[in-house]
Amino acid sequence: MRHAPPVELRPAGLQDAPALRRLMRARIAQAGSTAAHPSTAAALAQRMSGPRPEIEGVIAERAGEAIGMALFFPWLSTWQGRLYLYVQDLYVQSEERGSGLGRRLLGAVARAGRTRGCHSLLLAVATSNAPAARFYARLGFRCLETERLWLMPRAALGALIRAPESRPRPSRLSHRRNNRTPGLLR
């Protein structure tokens, strides 16, 4: 009986951008999201470079082939005064699911966070992705129902950018105070 080669985890580097993009596209296809347009490999490599990369990752390989990934970046909660790592993408090829690889990838991300003083991991799950929600709950993640994500579409962002800066409008209370008839309500 022949055994499969072991799965190796390592930090993702610039050279992994094409494989990471392939895994992102597989994740998008599996989710059935036809509207998604993932980063190009070149754009992903650019965001992963420099002294303070915008995104980092862990890649899982079997015999040199990428079979899983976790992409993350630091996120500061000013309300809590704590640094978190936000897991942007976690993906394991379907034939590797149930092997513990997703847990291993998140463990690698957690260890990277600990070296930076991060308090915990944070991630989002599509409301339609019940299997992922169950997986994260089994690992100890809790669903935060106190907040909702809001996204400003590109057109609205452009309109906001083009809008002239304006002076703050006076509050209703100050407006009433300024328009009082002298001697009234003294």
> What integer is the mean pLDDT of 57-80?
95
| Residue 57 confidence class, pLDDT cut points 50, 70, 90 | very high
pLDDT per residue as tens digits for the range 72-100: 999 999 988 999 999 999 999 999 999 99
Structure tokens at 48: 């992963």
Which range (55-59, 67-71, 128-132, 170-174) has the least confidence? 170-174
pLDDT per residue as tens digits for the range 12-23: 999 999 999 999
Q: Does residue 176 lie in a domain region?
A: no
Q: Does residue 27 lie in a domain region?
A: yes
pLDDT at 167: 64
Contact 74, 120 (CB under 8 A): no
How high does pLDDT run on average in the chain?
87
Q: Does residue 75 lie in a domain region?
A: yes
pLDDT at 3: 81
Question: How far is it, in rounded angstroms, from Cα 105 to Cα 68?
Answer: 8
Contact 123, 111 (CB under 8 A): no
**Number of domains present in the structure of the chain:** 1
Q: Does residue 181 lie in a domain region?
A: no
Strand order in the sheet with 120-123: 7-11, 56-62, 65-77, 82-92, 120-123
pLDDT at 115: 93
pLDDT at 62: 95
- Let me know if 136 is a catalytic residue: yes
Q: What is the DSSP letter of 94?
A: G
Residue count (the chain): 186
State the catalytic residue, choosing from 84, 86, 91, 136.
136
Question: How far is it, in rounded angstroms, from Cα 76 to Cα 5?
Answer: 39
Write out the residue range of the structural domain in which residue 99 sits: 7-155
Q: Does residue 185 lie in a domain region?
A: no
pLDDT at 133: 93
Contact 91, 63 (CB under 8 A): no
Q: Does residue 62 lie in a domain region?
A: yes
More confident residue, 145 or 111: 111
| Residue 170 confidence class, pLDDT cut points 50, 70, 90 | low
> What integer is the mean pLDDT of 25-38?
82
Q: Does residue 146 lie in a domain region?
A: yes
pTM above 0.75, yes or no: yes
Contact 19, 62 (CB under 8 A): no
| Residue 146 confidence class, pLDDT cut points 50, 70, 90 | confident
Q: Does residue 183 lie in a domain region?
A: no
CATH number for the domain harbouring residue 76: 3.40.630.30
